Structure 1
């Protein structure tokens, strides 16, 4: 038994990885409002940076925080400002339970406010960053602390405070919509939004001239038709290969899109940090991103696919929904996995419905409203057979699942 405990104590996922319990154990008896305040701040802030993707680890949170500076340092500064305001406010005011404060849940909505406003306000509306934007980050991060109103219903509030704050903020600070820019010209051209910079690009449709080219060179009609068909087949095959690669890119950047960042390198670093914290969480996130991205690629026309699917817009909500229900709030098993898949499919439908009202009507993004609504509804699911197990003592997914398995099978404990 002592040998098992010695081996367990050396398990990195029980110390520095996973939920990094060694840091919490060290700071547990250190008073917050003292010389230990900077260490408490770093622990809570870095955990809050990782919590949007359910990563409760200060070291992995530091990796995610560093990755935000890859595309644009302003995004990292927005995260620092919003997360610091929420973290310091919580450490001083103690508005929420200590467990929610310690693991970064109480402050992560401030992190999202800082990153999303700094990215989407200039990118979505094609405008400059203004002083009002930074003011809204500070105010929104402070207001995110008043979010624990679902605790009485035994439900996590997830990103609901963030969504309420960010929707009100964007409705307030959004510039007037230029309707003329959305109307096609007399030549039948139309405007699409590119995924990289969200800049309008004029595109014209023209018929293929392969058939006429072959006839002009004296080829027979049969040869012209055959050659034209072969050329179109080759072009379609190349286009389909490129489309699959770009859809794969959309699934890849879904992780960084949780923070409203469309950047491959940033997303790769975030995925590595997630895998270090919890391999199971990384796998479930990847499955959710793939389901959401590929389902949207099948459902929508090419204009929507190029503007949104290739950039991960239809993958990040699905990613979060799948992870939340399959292994974060429920102990992972076959039932929670099926529940996560069903919720992920429903998430795409809900996002499509909200897009019509929020984006097309009110000119604001859907943010993480689809994920929040779908996850809260599915968390109310009950199982009369007792297969679904709501997590009572949150930790990292592997440990939660093992604890449920141990309790259900009543086997000796071997994970601390």
Structure 2
């Protein structure tokens, strides 16, 4: 057999050698590459913007809204001497919000501005009352946190402001220096009453609230009696007269004004600018508290309409401010907010208006106001009633853990989440060993 020639071998090699695979991947065009780059850049920018929004939201919650803990942390980082001064000013600002269950520095600034716009002299006397209450608290060894958040000093502010606001001008002069003495004296008395009530009521887990202010002002007004002095008029309040509910009619503007101006009775500011600033201050601290206070004001106004109060008294908001405070305290402050506590808060607000009407007839004939007594009585009844038989529908917030409604709800939901996550683990950890059950 003849051997193959060289040319035939080369031809046979070419036929048997596999052909190389061609790269069929399409080459991306310039427009597609640019589109991909823009998409990835947009995705990165959206992630960055979302991270920035999250950081901004955390900063706002830490320094602006709620109880603004970042401000307290910044004050504590200062030098010793400067920190003492700043801590006092922080306490002053938080005191203004303590009247309506707000513990926020920026809200305190708005409350202070609202009071200054209405009456500068009563606000300055109120600031003096805060200083006196702060000094008494230090002498009586009140815990620093109670002084710092304004809980131990706001009654002193209210009493001193009340003394200035209800005094007639002395020889035509509104800025009467003689008012310093009664403001100082009754601020000390209200602070001592606050400390005494707290030592008693803490055993039954009840807050003193505005009761020291109510006791002090009632003693102050009752001591005046029929004695007419150039500083304090004898007849500060008219005798109560309810209108005939069958003939009484109310305009929509009067009802709306009653709801809007109810907060003015807490701070003694009856002008539109001050009332707007007060509502904004509550909203900055806690939108949930703002909502509950608004519901309480509407509830109190509705009950007052049913009772047939005079239209001019309804429009001042005096029949609904206690309902406002009760609804805010029960629906989110002393209890974790949920649909059940919200309904309970509205019911309590209606009851507070009924108590206000009762005290109106009892104290009115002797020209004494009921002040914030309906707030204390209503909260005491509901807090004690729910404490007697604990219900899983109403979760009480411990006094040491009270901050603001949104925080209470978040903390409660986190506890429930941890509890639900631990429940399956504990059930799976039950291991049988003979007649004994060992829990892992």
Q: TM-score surpassing 0.5? A: yes
| 1:409 counterpart residue number | 417
Which secondary structure does the structure 1 equivalent of 2:152 belong to? coil
| 1:376 counterpart residue number | 380
Q: Structure 1 stretch 375-384 or stretch 272-281: which is displaced more?
A: 375-384
**Of 356, 364, 368, which aligns to 1:359?**
364
Which secondary structure does the structure 2 equivalent of 1:113 belong to? helix
**Of 303, 319, 325, which aligns to 1:320?**
325
Q: Does 1:40 align with 2:45?
A: no
Query: Displacement of 1:103 after TM fit?
Result: 1.1
Query: Displacement of 1:8 after TM fit?
Result: 8.1
Counterparts in 2 of 1:379 and 1:4: CA distance versus 1, 3 Å = farther
TM-score, scaled relative to structure 2 = 0.71
Is residue 133–residue 156 contact of structure 2 (8 Å, CA) maintained in 1?
yes
Give the count of matched residue pairs.
346
Partner Cα distance (1:394, 1:401) in 2 = 11
Partner Cα distance (2:334, 2:417) in 1 = 20
Is residue 95–residue 145 contact of structure 1 (8 Å, CA) maintained in 2?
no
**Of 89, 98, 107, which aligns to 2:144?**
98
Partner Cα distance (2:324, 2:178) in 1 = 31
Deviations 1:26-76 (A, max 9, x none): 3346687x3432211110111011110111011210110111122222232
Which secondary structure does the structure 1 equivalent of 2:324 belong to? helix
Is residue 107–residue 144 contact of structure 1 (8 Å, CA) maintained in 2?
no
TM-score, scaled relative to structure 1 = 0.75
Q: Does 1:260 align with 2:271?
A: no
Unpaired runs of 5+ residues, structure 2, are 1-50, 229-234, 240-246, 422-440
Counterparts in 2 of 1:129 and 1:198: CA distance versus 1, 3 Å = farther
Is residue 67–residue 103 contact of structure 2 (8 Å, CA) maintained in 1?
yes
Is residue 95–residue 108 contact of structure 2 (8 Å, CA) maintained in 1?
yes
| 1:386 counterpart residue number | 392
Alignment of 1:238-317 (within 5 A): 243-301=251-309, 304-306=310-312, 308-317=313-322
Partner Cα distance (2:167, 2:322) in 1 = 19
Unpaired runs of 5+ residues, structure 1, are 178-192, 201-235
Q: Does 1:170 align with 2:174?
A: no
Partner Cα distance (1:321, 1:373) in 2 = 10
Partner Cα distance (1:29, 1:144) in 2 = 33
Partner Cα distance (2:306, 2:60) in 1 = 41
Partner Cα distance (2:327, 2:352) in 1 = 9
Partner Cα distance (2:340, 2:279) in 1 = 25
Q: Does 1:341 align with 2:346?
A: yes
Q: Structure 1 stretch 279-288 or stretch 399-408: which is displaced more?
A: 399-408
Alignment of 1:45-64 (within 5 A): 45-64=92-111
Deviations 1:371-399 (A, max 9, x none): 11111221112354422111120111101
Alignment of 1:59-208 (within 5 A): 59-90=106-137, 92-93=138-139, 95-122=141-168, 133-146=179-192, 147=194, 148-149=198-199, 150-173=201-224, 176=227
Counterparts in 2 of 1:89 and 1:62: CA distance versus 1, 3 Å = farther
Which structure has the greater CA radius of gyration?
2
Which secondary structure does the structure 1 equivalent of 2:280 belong to? helix
Partner Cα distance (1:120, 1:409) in 2 = 52
Partner Cα distance (2:364, 2:266) in 1 = 18
Deviations 1:253-275 (A, max 9, x none): 11121123322221111000110
